[in-house]
Chains A and B, each alone.
Chain A
Amino acid sequence: MDLTYPPQYEAFRRRVRAWLRKNLPSRPRGLAKLAFDDPRRIERAKQWQRKLYEAGYVAMSWPKEYGGQGADVLTQAIVDEELVRAQAPPLIGQMGIQMVGPTLIQFGTEEQKRRFLPRILTAEEIWCQGYSEPNAGSDLASLQTRAELVGDEFIVNGQKIWTSNAQFADWMFCLVRTDPHAPKHHGISYLLIDMKSPGISVRPLIQMTGERGFNEVWFENVRVPRSHLVGELHQGWQVANATLLHERNMLGAATTTQQLFAALVRLAKLCTRQGRSAVEDPVVRQRLAALAMRVEAMRYHAYRQLTDTILGRPRGIAASVNKLVSTELNHDITVCALNLLGSYATQTSESKFAVDGGRWIREFMFTLGMIIGGGTSEIQKNIIGERGLGLPREPRALPE
Chain B
Amino acid sequence: MNFGLSADQELLQRTARDFLAAEWPPAAAHAVFDADHDGYPRKLYEQMAQLGWLGLLAPVEFGGAGGTCLDAAVLAEELGRAAVPGPYLANTLSILALRQIGVASVRRQWLPLLAKGQAVVTLAWFEEDTAAWPFPLKARGSVGRFGLRLNGTKRFVLDAHVADAFLVVCRLPAGRAQSTAIVLVPREQAGVAVRPMNDVDRTRRPCEVVLNDVTVPRRSLLATGGQAEKLLARVQNAAAVLLAADCLGGAERLLEMAVEYAKVRRQFGRPIGSFQAVKHRCADMVAQIEPARSLVWYAAHAMDALPRQAAYAASLAKGHLSEVFSNVAENALRVFGGIGFTWERDLHIWFKRAQWNRYAFGSPEWHRERVAQECRW
Chain A positions within 8 Å of B, measured between CB atoms, are 1-5, 9, 74, 265, 268-269, 279-280, 282, 285-286, 288-290, 292-294, 296-298, 300-301, 303-304, 306-308, 310-311, 317-318, 321, 324-325, 378, 380-382, 384-386, 388-395
Contacts and interface: CB of A to CB of B under 8 A. Distances in A.
Nearest to A279: B377
* 7 A-B pairs with the lowest CB-CB distances in the bound complex, closest first: A289-B368, A381-B283, A385-B279, A293-B320, A303-B3, A391-B273, A384-B283
A285 B376 CA distance: 11
Contact of B297 (A268, A300, A391): A300
Interface stretch (B84-92, B99-107, B288-296): B288-296
A303 B284 CA distance: 22
18 contacts: A1-B304, A265-B375, A286-B365, A288-B377, A289-B372, A293-B320, A296-B316, A300-B298, A303-B294, A307-B3, A378-B276, A380-B283, A381-B283, A384-B286, A389-B259, A391-B263, A391-B278, A392-B274
Interface string B287-326: 1001111110110010011100000000010011000000
A317 to B, nearest CB: 8
Contacts of A392: 263, 270-271, 273-274
A345 B1 CA distance: 41
B2 interface: yes
B243 interface: no
B225 interface: no
B6 interface: yes
B30 to A, nearest CB: 26
Contacts of A74: 1
Contact of B283 (A304, A385, A390, A394): A385
Contacts of B369: 282, 285-286, 289
B2 A1 contact: yes
Given A1-B2, A297-B320, A321 B301 contact: no
Contacts of A380: 283
A1 B283 contact: no
Contacts of A279: 372, 377
A1 B3 contact: yes
A384 B276 CA distance: 11
A12 to B, nearest CB: 13
A269 B376 CA distance: 11
A261 B239 CA distance: 28
B280 A296 contact: no
A342 B105 CA distance: 61
Contacts of A298: 291
B371 interface: yes
B377 A4 contact: no
B70 interface: yes
A288 B304 CA distance: 27
A321 B271 contact: no
B372 A389 contact: no
Nearest to A286: B368
A358 to B, nearest CB: 25
B51 interface: no
A282 B320 CA distance: 18
A4 B188 CA distance: 49
Interface in B231-275: 259, 262-263, 270-271, 273-275
A179 to B, nearest CB: 29
Contacts of B173: none
A385 B282 contact: yes
B147 interface: no
B280 A385 contact: yes
A148 B298 CA distance: 54
Interface in B348-367: 365, 367
A297 B291 contact: yes
| Among B271, B278, B305, B371, residue most surrounded by chain A Cβ atoms (within 10 Å) | B371
Nearest to B377: A279
A303 B283 contact: no
Nearest to B369: A285
Nearest to B288: A325
A325 B287 contact: yes
A306 B372 contact: no
B5 interface: yes
A390 B282 CA distance: 11
Nearest to B2: A2
B377 A265 contact: yes
B263 A390 contact: yes
B294 A301 contact: yes
B198 to A, nearest CB: 31
B4 interface: yes
B276 A3 contact: no
A117 B283 CA distance: 36
B295 A296 contact: yes
A380 B279 CA distance: 11
A304 B4 contact: yes
